Amino acid sequence: MGFFKDLTFAAACLSLTVAASPLQERTTDGIDYNNYIIRGVNLGGWFVLEPWITPSIFEPYANGGGVIDEYTLSASLGKSATQTLLDQHWGSWITEDDFAQIAAAGLNTVRIPIGYWALAPQDGDPYVQGQLPYLATALGWARNHGLKVLLDLHGAPGSQNGFDNSGRLGPIQWQAGNTVQTTLTAIHNLVDWAVSNNFMDIVTSIELLNEPAGFSPNIKMDVTKQFYYDGYGYIHDKTPNTVTVIHDAFKDIGGYWNGFMNSATGVGNVMLDTHIYQVFTPGELSRTPCEHVANACSNKGKLAGTDKWAIVGEWTGAQTDCAKWLNGLGTGARYDGTFTGTGGSYYIGDCVGKDVGTVATMKQVDKTNLQYFVEAQLDAYEAHIGWIFWCWKTESAPEWNFKDLLANKLIPQPITSRKFAPQCDGAACMVPS
């Protein structure tokens, strides 16, 4: 049974103290997000594999073999070999030194994606478990270095979006059968685990589900909203000062979501997560550097127009989709016309220096354009609650690798400084073409 049986009466069923402001207040350790800017990074590719983040793991299947994601990798290798592989990966991909570097860069938050299979494994799934001890260690590292954590359920049974970042590339089958209830069970188990292990001073927010595909006919938004209410109800009951994060499901963050789960409905401590990329359609990819900056700046007003806290929980320095396998294992890029998937592609430019390698191997003009773009996004996204970059590190996708961008001085240091004049103030664009 859900926490709320009927959305119409959901607000009436709650007994909460509502602040005068439409933006509700606090987390456990006293953070007032009305007067606080989140600056963070995602620890992508750690507990949920993505071929483009760690291509070395998937390289044996680059030319076929049926492996395209963590699900098929696990099925192909079998439980024992998968366990050995992933134990090695979990123990090495992120270390305490990463947390130290994140804190030293002036960041205050890490978002840690995890799949349902780590929390509520299902009979017949090929996935393996063992992630939680590593997660516990990570939370200890966060505590050591003064960082807060957003725990993010990144993959749901059946896949909530059909992307490989859900664990399983293919049909969107979340909401079929018992998948929603299983997802709630995963949330319950995650909350119970964090509370019982006294991590709520570190875990200031929990995201119920990453990127449910509200654009798909397979995803019913009334079911998604009920799931949000049910998940929120459990978190509020167990740890009432913890922020519940809901993803926008690719719907307009203001027009669609305003009026839902805000203080006027009697619901507090809810944050809306939106992800802003400009690399997944030929139209976006054909923008000039100045047009990329202008589009980034246009989000400043959209974020300010929400009636609840809103965070840009994923964004990137990339202005292309050139990163190796970003669009799926073995696939090409729209930018250079080699992508053959849905929507097609056409040649816009070459991917040399953007597809593999390090920031140091990028062309200087690409570095400069990226630096302008990053600073514009920082200015736009800090106008509300803040941002979390995707992602902290990659093996060979330089435009997405915050750690490498930082080392090559393309991320401002201090993080509040700017190399270029503010770009979202209406001044003429100065970005080189």
Query: Looking at the annotation, which residues are catalytic?
Result: 211, 314
CA nearest to 203, candidates 389, 24, 29 = 29
Alpha-carbon gap, residue 333 to 379, rounded angstroms: 29
Q: Cα separation of 51 and 129, whole Å? A: 19
Number of residues assigned to the chain: 433
Contact 334, 345 (CB under 8 A): yes
- Could you give the C-alpha distances from 351 to 43, 290, 355, in angstroms and in order? 25, 19, 6
* Residue 105, both tokens: 């860069």
Could you give the CA distance from residue 312 to residue 276 in angstroms, rounded to a whole number? Answer: 7
CA dihedral 354, 291, 370, 352 (to 10 degrees): 20
CA angle 399, 136, 310 (to 5 degrees): 50
β-strand partners of 41: 110, 389
Between CA 167 and CA 385, with CA 378 as vertex, the angle to 5 degrees is 75
Rounded distance between C-alpha atoms, residue 201 and residue 29, angstroms: 6
Spatial separation of the C-alpha atoms in residues 28 and 235, rounded to whole Å: 12
At 59, the amino acid letter reads E
